[in-house]
């Protein structure tokens, strides 16, 4: 009963925020279902083994200055499994700006029934921002308002909760609670010049695994992303897992993009995934936009006693 109530609460919250929220500035991932740690610290250690993920994303290939993102995430349960620790490194480049995130994650898990587990997470992060306006080829090279930012460091903190049982998972998080304004005081006559502003981001995710038959599993999932001043972003995804090896799926990002996804479980410890996005907006019809590509590798380190009989689908 507790498991069902928690699941219903998470789903109700997601439905609520999908009507009232706003979207995101942070790095975007099509294959978010394989890497929840980057947005929710409560996921740390929840796979029950040491998990290492490497991801690369090239967005709007062919468009000069388009976003590219690289991500390294490592997390593991500690001791009896109630505590989870994680680390992630994100490199995000957009035009003249490069932002690097160094994140550490802590989670504590309590059992809510025979199968249900509820985790609470804390995230600490350092964000390093560089902006080089010379890459934009400005008309006036001496414009006093185009002042570069060199290694601007800003700390941040985040929180999250994550619930799962054998079939359902859901989570709520705000990975960066501190609003950061970036200024530079070396402009004209020492004036304080506004350069960029980072808002608080809110995330809600959920998914459920259906056993169609012994060789086929179906998992619908959703991710809602909100930030003040931008439209709501809602991802709806459907994945099919065949013979616990091959995953094929499709995703729709509301008023933004359609995606195709594929992943293959090479062995117990290695999963390889690929995704391709095509914009559903006018940008997708541009001749210089060849779509968005995303690839990842996930390595998992087992001990004999914690080896999974079948791969976890989340």
Domain locations in the chain as residue ranges:
2-306
How many CB atoms are located within 10 Å of the residue 3 CB?
20
CATH class of this structure's domain 2-306: mainly beta
Q: Tell whether pTM > 0.95.
A: no
Tokens of 20: 């009232």
Looking at the chain, the whole-number percentage of residues with pLDDT higher than 70 is 77
Q: What is the pLDDT of residue 146?
A: 64
Residue 34 has φ and ψ, to the nearest 5°, of -95, -10
How far is Cα 221 from Cα 250, in angstroms, rounded to an integer?
11
Over residues 41-64, the pLDDT tens digits come to 999 999 999 999 999 999 988 888
pLDDT digits (tens, 9 = 90+) for 251-299: 999 888 899 999 999 998 999 999 999 988 766 666 677 889 999 999 9
pLDDT in tens, 138-186: 656 666 566 677 788 999 999 999 999 999 999 999 999 987 665 554 4
């Amino acid at each position: 009963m507790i498991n069902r109530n928690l699941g219903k609460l998470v789903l109700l919250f997601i439905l609520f925020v999908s009507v009232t929220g706003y979207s995101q500035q942070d790095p975007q991932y099509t294959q978010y279902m394989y890497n929840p740690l980057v947005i929710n610290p409560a996921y740390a250690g929840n796979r029950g083994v040491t998990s290492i993920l490497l991801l690369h994303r090239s967005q709007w290939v062919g468009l000069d200055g388009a976003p590219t993102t690289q991500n390294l995430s490592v997390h593991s349960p500690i001791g009896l499994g109630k505590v989870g620790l994680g680390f992630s490194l994100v490199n995000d480049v957009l035009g003249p700006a490069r932002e690097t995130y160094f994140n550490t994650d802590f989670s504590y898990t309590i059992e809510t029934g025979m199968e249900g587990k509820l985790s609470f997470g804390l995230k600490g992060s350092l964000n390093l921002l560089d902006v080089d306006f010379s890459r934009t080829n400005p008309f006036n090279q001496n414009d006093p308002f185009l002042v570069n930012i060199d290694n601007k460091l800003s700390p941040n903190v985040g929180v999250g909760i994550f619930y799962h049982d054998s079939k359902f998972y859901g989570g709520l998080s705000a990975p960066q609670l501190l609003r950061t304004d970036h200024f530079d005081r070396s402009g004209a006559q020492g004036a304080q010049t506004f350069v960029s502003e980072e808002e608080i981001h809110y995330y809600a995710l959920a998914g459920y695994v259906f056993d169609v038959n012994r060789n086929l599993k179906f998992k619908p999932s959703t991710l809602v992303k909100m930030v003040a001043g931008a439209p709501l972003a809602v991802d709806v995804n459907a994945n099919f897992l065949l013979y616990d090896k091959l995953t094929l799926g499709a995703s729709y990002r509301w008023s933004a993009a359609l995606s195709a996804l594929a992943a293959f479980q090479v062995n117990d410890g290695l999963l390889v995934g690929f995704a391709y996005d095509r914009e559903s907006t006018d940008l997708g019809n541009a001749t210089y936009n060849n779509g968005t590509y995303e690839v990842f590798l996930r390595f998992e380190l087992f001990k004999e006693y914690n080896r999974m009989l079948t791969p976890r689908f989340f």
